[in-house]
Amino acid sequence: MNHTPHPQIAARKAHGVHTVRRELTGFNGWLALKITNSVGTMWCAYAFAILALISLPDAIKAGTAALIAWIAQTFLQLVLLSIIMVGQKVAAAASDKQAYQTYKDAEALLEISNDMQKLLKANTDLTQEIHKALGAKVGG
């Protein structure tokens, strides 16, 4: 009986590990990634904060309601958007690293399993030869 490696081994090698970058398809995916990578930087968050702070004096002069609206609609939306996007990029990068490590671990386990199957086959063959040799001596 010959050992046939599981077809998933070849499929995994052919496809490789899934990452965020590999999941993008077409122009829309490319454009979305470009915009996300541009807006999702701390430098963009700093620029948005400066832009938002330009209108702060007018919001203060207009009173409490205008100041609260400025905080909620201007500062939080402009600045936190970029900061959240930076956090998402960091999380996605960590997730990609984790996926890659899991992929490599699974590859190693598949190879170990394949090697064990080969060793079991060799052990079975040797055991059968020993039984034949002992059977010939006992019967002869």
- Annotated domain spans of the chain: 18-139
**Predicted local distance difference test score (pLDDT) of residue 114:** 85
Mean per-residue pLDDT of the chain: 85
Reference 59, options 49, 67, 68, 51; nearest CA is 67
Contacts of 58 (CB under 8 A, 6+ apart): 66
**Predicted local distance difference test score (pLDDT) of residue 140:** 53
Whether 52 has a pLDDT exceeding 80, the answer reads yes
Report yes or no on whether pTM surpasses 0.85.
no
Contacts of 88 (CB under 8 A, 6+ apart): 40
